[in-house]
């Protein structure tokens, strides 16, 4: 079944009623299945995201920690984002790069990209995530592939978080050296999606929804998806995101699938978050996902605070960004006067994050991929 049909199935599902009907005994049954190593189904995921599961968080956490250590070891992968352009023609009502927010747009030249790359490499980072806004006329494929060739000199792994493209464009980018793709649906709830993406390219819900699949077919070896918490009902969104991840894992066995949990922070010119996800809710999502998908990558960005990230090391996270700058040219090229996509909360250096991971009894992993 195509994922678009699967999402439609849940459009009429009464999440609220279902979540409230979950009893402690149901949670216990799901946890017994974890102990018996029986793969969990969608109903189990719903159960673990319910209010009733909140009373089982400690036992969920212990199981999640054990499973994560078994499959990923005592390690946390590290990466840093590189924003190369903040030109954007989208109208996302919640985003600092929204086309109608009046700030001076910036785009790095290839020479500037190399200076940023060199600075990030010097920080010890070997896996990079390259980001742009959505303005294909400003950042055409030729510019992006040229950027890949420069970045490849420094980084054995290059991830992309740009705008949805067709399969051919993705194939050109993987051929140029990119190996992983990040694309967030932002919100799986179709109605809210329409409200917060009123016009432009991004208003096409289904094209975005099928982007990870196009990427997987085009040769990306890793795909990272997520929902932006703060738009739709958090637990309903977490459920669909989990189902989406599982769908990708089954449909593309050669692809490593990860989930992120971006929580909205107030960006310049953006709307305030509607459905705030608490720290407890955040951890509940992570734990539920981990028990649902033992091999799922879980990526945590610097949107989250240092003390909170320190705890997440033990709760199933597999990848952290570190030393991040979320403005174009933020590492060395431009040191002020640019606009950030979101405020970094964990402002520690790569060295400080490395130390924290080591002190937590985990190994920071700078390199775990290279396509020879």
Partner 1 sequence: MAEDVLILGNKRFSSRLFTGTGKFASKTLIAPMLAASGSQMITVALRRVDPTADQGNILAHIPETVTLLPNTSGARTADEAVRIARIARAAGCGDFIKIEVITDMQYLMPDNHETLKACRILAKEGFVVLPYVMPDITVTQQLYDAGAAAVMPLGSPIGSNRGLEMRAMIQRIIEVSKLPVVVDAGIGRPSQAAEAMEMGADAVLVNTAIATSEDPCLAGKAFSLAVMAGRMAFLASLAGTRKGATASSPLTGFLRE
Site for partner 1 in 304-363 (CB under 8 A): 358, 361-363
Strand partners, 310: none
Of 341 and 354, nearer to partner 1 (C-beta) is: 354
152 binding partner 1? (CB under 8 A): no
Tell me how far, at minimum, the Cβ of 253 lies from partner 1, in Å: 4
Length of the chain (residues): 372
Residue 52 is classified by DSSP as G
| From 168, 204, 351, 368, residue interacting with partner 1 (rule: CB under 8 A) | 368
HSE at residue 157, side-chain half, CA atoms within 13 A, is 23
Q: Report the 10 Å Cβ neighbour count for 13.
A: 13
The answer to whether residue 71 forms part of the interface with partner 1 (CB under 8 A) is: yes
Contact between 372 and partner 1 per CB under 8 A: yes
The SS3 of residue 160 is strand
Q: Does 274 bind partner 1 (CB under 8 A)?
A: no
Q: By CB under 8 A, how many residues form the interface with partner 1?
A: 30
x/- map, 166-205, partner 1, by CB under 8 A: ----------------------------------------
CA-closest candidate to residue 79, choices 145, 130, 132, 149: 130
CB of 363 to partner 1, least distance (A): 5
Which residue in the set 136, 156, 200, 273 belongs to the binding site for partner 1 (CB under 8 A)?
A: 156
Among 2, 41, 51, 73, binds partner 1 (CB under 8 A): 73
Determine the interface stretch with partner 1 among 65-73, 160-168, 272-280, 303-311 (rule: CB under 8 A). 65-73
Reduce the DSSP state of residue 94 to 3 states and report it. coil
- C-beta closer to partner 1: residue 301 or 354: 354
Least distance (Å) from partner 1 to the CB of residue 72? 7
Taking CB under 8 A as the criterion, the residue among 89, 124, 171, 306 binding partner 1 is 124
**With CB under 8 A as the contact rule, which of the stretches 24-32, 51-59, 161-169, 248-256 interacts with partner 1?**
248-256
Q: How far is the CB of 295 from partner 1 (least distance, A)?
A: 6
Comparison of 335 and 363: residue with beta carbon closer to partner 1: 363
Residue 65 dihedral angles phi and psi, to the nearest 5°: -60, -45
- Of 185, 254, 244, the residue nearest 2 (C-alpha): 244
* Helix segments in 184-320, DSSP class H: 190-196, 205-209, 211-217, 234-251, 279-292, 306-312
The answer to whether 8 and 218 have CB atoms below 8 angstroms apart is: no
Residues 36, 252, 186, 178, Cα dihedral to 10°: 130
Residue with tokens 């190996």: 179
Sign (positive or negative) of CA dihedral 273, 278, 282, 287? negative
b/e code 172-208 from CB counts within 10 Å (16+ = b): bbbebbbbbbbbbbbbbbeebbeebbeeebbeebeeb
List the structure tokens of 32: 């017994």
Residue in 33, 42, 69, 190 binding partner 1, rule: CB under 8 A = 69
Q: Which stretch binds partner 1 (CB under 8 A): 144-152, 237-245, 254-262, 276-284?
A: 254-262
What residues make contact with partner 1 under the rule CB under 8 A?
69-75, 124, 126, 156, 221, 249, 253-257, 295, 358, 361-363, 365-372
């Amino acid at each position: 079944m195509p994922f678009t049909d699967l999402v439609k199935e849940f459009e009429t599902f009464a999440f609220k009623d279902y979540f409230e009907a979950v009893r402690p005994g149901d949670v216990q049954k799901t946890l017994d299945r974890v102990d018996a190593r029986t793969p969990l189904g969608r109903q189990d995921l719903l159960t673990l995201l319910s209010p009733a599961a909140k009373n089982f968080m400690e036992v969920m956490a212990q199981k999640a920690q054990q499973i994560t250590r078994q499959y990923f070891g005592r390690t946390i992968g590290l990466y840093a984002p590189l924003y190369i352009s903040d030109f954007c023609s989208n109208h996302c009502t919640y985003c600092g790069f929204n086309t109608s927010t009046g700030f001076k747009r910036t785009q790095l030249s290839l020479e500037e990209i190399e200076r940023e790359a060199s600075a990030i490499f010097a920080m010890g980072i070997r896996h990079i995530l390259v980001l742009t806004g959505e303005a294909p006329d400003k950042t055409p494929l030729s510019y992006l592939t040229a950027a890949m060739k420069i970045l490849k000199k420094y980084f054995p792994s290059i991830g992309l978080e740009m705008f949805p493209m067709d399969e051919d464009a993705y194939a050109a980018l993987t051929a140029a050296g990119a190996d992983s793709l990040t694309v967030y649906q932002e919100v799986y709830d179709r109605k809210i999606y329409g409200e917060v993406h009123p016009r432009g390219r991004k208003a096409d819900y289904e094209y975005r929804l099928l982007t990870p699949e196009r990427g997987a077919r085009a040769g990306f070896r890793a795909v990272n998806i997520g929902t932006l918490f703060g738009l739709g009902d958090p637990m309903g969104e977490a459920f669909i995101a989990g189902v989406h991840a599982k769908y990708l894992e089954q449909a593309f066995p050669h692809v490593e699938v990860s989930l992120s949990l971006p929580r909205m922070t107030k960006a310049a010119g953006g709307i305030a978050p509607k459905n705030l996800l608490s720290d407890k809710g955040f951890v509940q999502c992570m734990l539920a996902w981990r028990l649902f998908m033992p091999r799922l990558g879980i990526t945590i960005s610097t949107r989250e605070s240092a003390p909170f990230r320190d705890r997440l090391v033990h709760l199933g996270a597999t990848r952290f960004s570190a030393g991040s700058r979320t403005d174009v040219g933020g590492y060395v090229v431009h040191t002020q006067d640019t606009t950030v996509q979101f405020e970094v909360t964990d402002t520690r250096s790569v060295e400080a994050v490395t130390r924290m991971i080591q002190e937590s009894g985990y190994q920071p992993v700078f390199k775990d991929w290279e396509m020879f």
